[in-house]
Amino acid sequence: MSNSLEFPIHFHGLIIHSDGRWVRSFPNDTIPAGTNTLTGVQSKDVVISHESNVFVRLYIPKTPIPTRKLPTLIYYHGGAFMTESAASPTYHRTLNLITTESNVIVVSVNYRLAPEYPLPIAYEDSWEAIKWVASHVGGNGPETWLNDHADLQNVFLAGDSAGANIAHNMAIRVGLSHEKVFNVSGVIMLHPYFGGKDPVGAEAKRFKLHKEFIDMMWLLANPSGNGLDDPLFNPGMDPNISAFGSSKILVCVAEKDALRERGLNYKKVMERSGWKGKVELMESKGELHIFFLFNTSCENSCLLRNRICNFMNPIRCKA
């Protein structure tokens, strides 16, 4: 562990000591699924694996038209792979708004958390969710909401922070997979959580301490991996990156976020990788990391959700 950070570190219910020991002092806050009184969006939780108890929280708009299938968004929550859930109040509130504003079906994945379940378990759970969604392609899957309302020829992957990391890695797995899943229409990367042994941009000085913290959290979540240059964490080290299974990416960064450096670097890495797609970039001025989860009504949050809507459903949304 670093000598620059002040221990013990308290991070959303995790207490981390300088020798690597950790304690989860309280569970994540959760909120039940149901009908949202503000938007009319309906949601419910569905267990997709009785072996692992992994579940997804499904969202459908207030009045889906029976004869019209809607774009499907598979969403991975953030939290450094170690906190939050698909039932967290911040994600529930935000995904209710995305569902109604973009008129989409949302599948929010509740993968298992490190350190109790170290990586790559979260990636495996996330892949199981993709396969579960894909089981509905023929219209005879186990969940009627997806059979009746989801356009599985128009599927998007998205996530914030660690969830954006998962979305990226799932898109590569889709591109490499011999398993029958679906085509990914686009990937939405919100304030992505990446890293690497060598600093990029302002990580060398201004955000040096923050990089130490991010490095420590990655190694705690993935103790048996390949260190800070593990391709799961540092996309530039991934020999399979050009297999990315979608033709377009939206990368969103925040001006005052220390992870902005990694988001900007990710755009460069993808454009130099040999991948043939297009990367769009949106920067939220004056904002911090994942601000849109905590203040859903501010102007920048509304602009961000409108950009997400336009990326998935441009006919519905204003440019």
Q: Sort 293 into a burial class: Cβ within 10 Å, 0-12 / 13-18 / 19+.
A: buried
Residue pair 117/199 in contact (Cβ under 8 Å)? The answer is no
Q: φ and ψ at 316, to 5 degrees?
A: -80, -35
Residue 301: CB atoms within 10 Å: 19
Catalytic pick among 191, 257, 284, 301: 257
Backbone CA torsion sign across 252, 171, 225, 222? positive
3-class DSSP state for residue 158? strand
Alpha helix (H) residue ranges in the chain: 89-102, 121-134, 144-149, 162-176, 208-221, 260-272, 291-294, 299-312
Residue 243: CB atoms within 10 Å: 17
Annotation marks residue 161 as catalytic? yes
Catalytic pick among 77, 238, 289, 301: 289
SS (HEC) of 240-300: CHHHCCECEEEEEEECCCCCHHHHHHHHHHHHHCCCCCEEEEEEECCCCCCHHHHCCCCHH
Annotation marks residue 168 as catalytic? no
Q: Look up residue 36 and give its DSSP letter.
A: -
Catalytic pick among 161, 185, 284, 301: 161
Annotation marks residue 289 as catalytic? yes
Active site residues: 161, 257, 289
